[in-house]
Amino acid sequence: EIVMTQSPATLSVSPGEGATLSCRASQSVSSNLAWYKHKPGQAPRLLIYGASTRATDIPARFSGSGSGTEFTLSISSLQSEDFAVYYCQHYSNWPLTFGGGTKVEIK
């Protein structure tokens, strides 16, 4: 099983600032990596797949990078709706696993 590790666990950011979230895989997942945003009371929403491709209707301020075992989600100029928990997930093989999440909170 591939273990996904996210850091930091919590990130305090002021509105308008940028944020960088990290995700590490215990073995290579190539580019089979997705990022999700999860707000309380809502279903998670797919942001990025293929490590760097934005999903439908996702704003350009979200960008993903990396391959192999190291990945980054960058959010430029955080808006109020961006404060949430973010998860990475690999789909390189079975079982599919998620990272533990990074909470982006208002500073």
Partner 1 sequence: QLQLQESGPGLVKPSETLSLTCTVSGGPISTSSCYWGWIRQPPGKGLEWIGTVYYTGTTFYNPSLKSRVTISVDTSKNQFSLKLRSMTAVDTAVYYCVRHPYDTGGPFDYWGQGTLVTVSS
Determine, following the binding rule CB under 8 A, whether residue 58 of this chain makes contact with partner 1.
Answer: no
> Which among 51, 16, 59 is positioned nearest to 30, based on CA atoms?
51
Write the DSSP string, the chain. Answer: -PPEEEE-SEEEE-TT--EEEEEEESS--TT-EEEEEE-TTS--EEEEETTTEEPTT--TTEEEEEETTEEEEEESS--GGG-SEEEEEE-SSSSPEE---EEEEE-
Q: Is the distance from CB of 105 to CB of 12 less than 8 angstroms?
A: yes
Determine, following the binding rule CB under 8 A, whether residue 66 of this chain makes contact with partner 1.
Answer: no
**Stretch of 15-23, 40-48, 57-65, 68-76 lying at the interface with partner 1 (CB under 8 A):** 40-48
Determine, following the binding rule CB under 8 A, whether residue 100 of this chain makes contact with partner 1.
Answer: yes
**Stretch of 19-27, 35-43, 58-66, 67-75 lying at the interface with partner 1 (CB under 8 A):** 35-43
Determine, following the binding rule CB under 8 A, whether residue 24 of this chain makes contact with partner 1.
Answer: no
Shortest gap between Cβ of 103 and partner 1 (angstroms)? 11
Shortest gap between Cβ of 60 and partner 1 (angstroms)? 19
Candidates 37, 75, 89, 104: give the one binding partner 1 (CB under 8 A). Answer: 89
Determine, following the binding rule CB under 8 A, whether residue 93 of this chain makes contact with partner 1.
Answer: yes
